[in-house]
Chains A and B, each alone.
Chain A
Amino acid sequence: MPRGVCGRLASALRGTRAQPPAVAQRCVHLSVSRPSPDQSERTRKPPRAFDPALLEFLVCPLSKKPLRYEASTNELINEELGIAYPIIDGIPHMIPQAARMTRQNKQQEEMEQQ
């Protein structure tokens, strides 16, 4: 799924930025390797929750626009493009391969309901 996401994102952004599709297809393994949360022996340090101060620095890598932190799903959301970057183990994964589309999920839900 991430590949399709990235392809669509890439074409959507062609107007704004010259984005070669090669970017989208690299590093496939990242989306596969979502590990079970506690592989390590000891517990992680308390800031497993995201530190909102980071929001000053972070932007969407594709559009360079600011993001919104969604505490419920622990994701950083780019409203404009409708993509959400996950935060796993307190580390935001700011790569398109790890992102999911928010709007398409809604459309799929609507279709399923119908």
Chain B
Amino acid sequence: MAAPRIWGLWSFCCRGWSRVLPGCRLPGLRSSWPRGPLGARPLSQEKRATETHFGFETVSEEEKGGKVYQVFESVAKKYDMMNDMMSLGIHRIWKDLLLWKMRPFPGTQLLDVAGGTGDIAFRFLNYVQAQHQRKEKRQLRAQQNLSWEEIAKKYQNEEDSLGGSHVMVCDINKEMLKIGKQKAHAQGYKAGLAWVLGDAEELPFDDDKFDVYTIAFGIRNVTHIDRALQEAHRVLKPGGRFLCLEFSQVNNPLVSRLYDVYSFQVIPVLGEVIAGDWKSYQYLVESIRQFPSQEEFKEMIEDAGFQKVTYENLTSGIVAIHSGFKL
């Protein structure tokens, strides 16, 4: 990488940041768009009272929620398709990895926050159902010599194919939930699934309710991440697990350059061409840059009260899964 000082000066000139913090992320080649607003670091040191970031813009905290809502309202219909296009289908693997890390067993109560279109929820249901079927298969092998009474009893006991598992999908955006519900209906998911419109910073759930809390690609859009983490801690049962799948800092310099080029030159163009919405996708890539690094986010999770907090980088750090336990 180039000498950090020169890099720092250039970024100062380009965007007028008052100081360049160590480990600060600087997007690579952003020559084309003359965005000159100040960027305010939201949560850590430079906290002005009610200002936060919306991508690289500075907005008041009240505004941010509304603006984020508008972004997702406009992208909702093409959300899944754009995800496939932008990540070249890799987002499916990331979400699958999240589930494999979670390893839910039948009976798990999952809360999926910012899970609007239901990707995580559906994967969870599939996983739990597959586990249940495997368990039944194992039982069948042991039950080859049943008496007639036992067989008759089996017909009477209608077993829940999910084994008591349940997933609650909570999102603040109505459009995303609508799309999720339609998908659920189209793909035939009925049992064990519930949809709630709620705010991640003020969850409408009682304390100690859920076994697992997940938030996939949603927490960077929350205005007060610390509040969302505290709410997560509140609604989890003791022993419950917090899992967050989110874009993060790339650790490999070469990949970082390519990623920056791709993010700022390709993604908004794709957004414009396919979804007719440049600004939303510009916000998307900017918000990724504004999100804290893996270590910083880990500290925030620890501050909220979680223990044994770890993170795992996927795809050289483009995405990271943070995990913590409420003990």
Contact = CB atoms under 8 A, between A and B. Distances in A.
B66 A92 contact: no
A92 B174 CA distance: 10
Interface of B: 50, 61-62, 64-66, 69-70, 73, 168, 172, 174, 177-178, 181-182, 185, 190, 194-199, 201-207, 209, 223
A59 B198 contact: no
A22 B224 CA distance: 11
Nearest to B206: A59
A29 B204 contact: no
Contact of A95 (B194, B195, B197): B197
Contact of A28 (B66, B168, B201): B66
B197 A93 contact: yes
A57 B199 contact: no
Given A25-B62, A29-B73, A64 B206 contact: yes
A98 interface: yes
What DSSP secondary structure best describes chain B's contact surface? Answer: mixed
A39 B47 CA distance: 43
B201 to A, nearest CB: 7
24 contacts: A22-B61, A23-B201, A23-B202, A25-B62, A26-B223, A27-B66, A29-B66, A29-B70, A30-B174, A40-B182, A54-B194, A54-B196, A57-B194, A57-B205, A58-B206, A59-B204, A59-B205, A61-B203, A89-B181, A90-B181, A92-B204, A93-B174, A93-B197, A95-B199
A93 B171 CA distance: 10
A108 interface: no
B202 A51 contact: no
A22 B199 CA distance: 13
Nearest to B171: A91
Nearest to A21: B62
Interface in A64-101: 64, 66, 88-96, 98
Given A22-B61, A22-B62, A27-B65, A94 B195 contact: no
Given A27-B172, A58-B204, A60-B204, A90 B195 contact: yes
B202 A22 contact: no
Q: Which 7 A-B pairs have the closest CB atoms?
A: A26-B65, A94-B204, A61-B202, A61-B204, A94-B198, A93-B197, A25-B62
